Amino acid sequence: MSNRHPNASSPLAKLLGQSTRISKKIAKQIIRFHRMSHTELIAHFNGNRFSSFCSLQTPKNELFYGLEGRKLFFELAEALVKYAPELQGRVDLEKIIGAVKKSYVKQFIVGGMSIDNEAVKDMLEYALGDIKLSFDAYKHYIPCVFFVGSSPDEFSVGPVKFVRTSALFSSMVPPGWDTQDNDEALDRQTTIDYYKEYPWVACIEVGLCEYNASFEMAIYACATALNIIRVCLGSGVTDEVRLSTDASSDLKSAKIWGSSSGELEWSHSYKFKSPSGPSNWYESLNEGDGGRIKSFFGAVIEKTCTFGEHSELSGRLIDSVNWFGDACLERSPAASIVKYVTSIERLYLASSEFGVKSRFVNRVSKILSDFELSSDHLARQDASEVYNLRSTLVHGGSSPRTRETLLQKVKAEKLAQGCILCAEQLYLVIFDAFDPKSPEELEAAMRQYDAQGLQWCIDKARTRILSLQT
């Protein structure tokens, strides 16, 4: 026998009820504007200049609904995402709003249906079907700056494949295409000329979604792949590595200035776009520990590109890697320190309760010493100094312009890099031992690690795996 209250309704029924109320309010707005005289309508638009853009196109006329109606269509689009959660991340909100408006016109204006739960459900289903018609699995080719030193013509980070531009076009451009004399050939030539300015192209296939969302996901996945490389190799040799879509400093620069003599002086410089990179960069990323680490992080990108739901741990892992990458690219040393510390906090601190600093210092020093990346004393000292500076920078006790930030930036990067690399092993132990599914459960697991030690967690993981197998 069910313990459900007789007046309780299911989440779907509540959602449909809410959507029906919103739809009725939109109808009231449409009627309100429809009843206005031409003079009243002009007066309203003069006082509400953006209201004239808020309308529905029907086969016969244009129906205005005003700024209030615009807000209601926004709410209806949000309701559709709740109705069909699989849309999350696969299509931008403006596309959803457009589909909902089209469906509203079809169902209630052209179709003349009464606005009730059943008709609203049909409206949502029609909008959902219309959106999914635009879905496809797109493969994107994004130019990027990467090392031009000796290496094979391609390498991969998870689902992201980096291919030398020359090798890519030699395999994908059909013979004789450049002999054509038409606008299409000109557009293609212009595009290829742009790509050839970059030494590499990042290739990635994204799961079923709308094109704009697919492109944004491709950029995110490729940027994450480059950030993984930054974690492996550090900021010093990767400062010029970037996607063509990233913001960057100009390759050419010039300066004009005057001195006390009254004469003008000038200079210009040119920065190479394609760094040669470390002589062994390919081996470092593809063999031994580097290959294992790259494979581990690459699997997280794979889940992102297929719109898989991230676990508590994998979500934190990919966020931490991207905080680290953002820190590497920061021009301000102070901002870099804040982001490096945030990268560590995202990995290992799942609670903001009192005592964050002490937990940060204790946890970082324990992790780095447990995995033999630093002595406990040195790691504790560096973590304390970096966290103190981060706090004074954020809360105004220290100026970002002080030279102290330059000295501490290197320490902050080293700490963050070590903590992320340790996660490749520690996260597997935490998952096998505790399988945390929420921030609270992760914090509880980390406290167990703090108190009992790494070996205790490894033993617990083995015991738990054996129990699950039997």
The average pLDDT across 287-303 equals 89
The pLDDT tens digits for 234-283 are 999 998 899 999 876 555 678 888 877 777 877 877 665 677 788 888 88
The average pLDDT across 204-220 equals 94
Task: Tell which residue, 320, 317, 298, 341, has the closest CA to residue 430.
Answer: 317
Residue at token pair 């590497």 = 328
Token pair for 343: 């990268």
Q: How far apart are CA 212 and CA 91, in angstroms?
A: 7
The pLDDT tens digits for 382-404 are 999 999 988 888 876 555 555 56
Q: How far apart are CA 313 and CA 465, in angstroms?
A: 18
Task: Give the pLDDT confidence score for residue 354 in this predicted structure.
Answer: 79
The pLDDT tens digits for 121-170 are 999 999 999 999 999 999 999 999 999 888 899 999 999 999 999 999 88
3-state secondary structure of 439: helix
253: β partners: 269
Enter the pTM of the model: 0.86
Residue at token pair 């016969």 = 60
List Cβ neighbours of 248 (8 Å cut-off, separation of 6 or more).
242
Tell me how far the alpha carbon of residue 53 is from its chain's centroid. Answer: 31
Q: How far apart are CA 3 and CA 241, in angstroms?
A: 60
Task: Give the pLDDT confidence score for residue 174 in this predicted structure.
Answer: 62
User: Does 223 score more than 50 pLDDT?
Assistant: yes
Whether residue 313 contacts residue 425, with contact meaning beta carbons closer than 8 Å, is answered with no
Helix, strand, coil percentages in the chain from 3-state DSSP, rounded to 5: 65, 10, 30
Token pair for 195: 């790509």
Residue at token pair 């697919």 = 214
Task: Give the pLDDT confidence score for residue 470 in this predicted structure.
Answer: 76
Start-to-end Cα distance in the chain:
33
Task: Give the pLDDT confidence score for residue 175 in this predicted structure.
Answer: 61
Report the range of poorest mean pLDDT among 91-105, 138-152, 171-185. 171-185
Q: Which helix or strand (DSSP H or E) is residue 45 part of? A: helix 38-47
% residues pLDDT > 70 (the chain): 93
CA dihedral 152, 158, 160, 164 (to 10 degrees): 0
Token pair for 194: 């742009």
The pLDDT tens digits for 16-62 are 999 999 999 999 999 999 999 999 999 999 999 899 999 999 988 99
266: β partners: 256
Task: Give the pLDDT confidence score for residue 397 in this predicted structure.
Answer: 57
Q: Which helix or strand (DSSP H or E) is residue 340 part of? A: helix 333-348
Q: Which helix or strand (DSSP H or E) is residue 23 part of? A: helix 11-34
How buried is 370 (Cβ within 10 angstroms: 0-12 exposed, 13-18 middle, 19+ buried)?
Answer: middle
Q: How far apart are CA 459 and CA 456, in angstroms?
A: 5
The average pLDDT across 74-86 equals 96
Query: CA of 398: how far to CAs of 156, 357, 392, 395, 403, in Å?
Result: 42, 17, 5, 8, 11
Query: CA of 432: how far to CAs of 108, 169, 318, 442, in Å?
Result: 53, 45, 19, 12
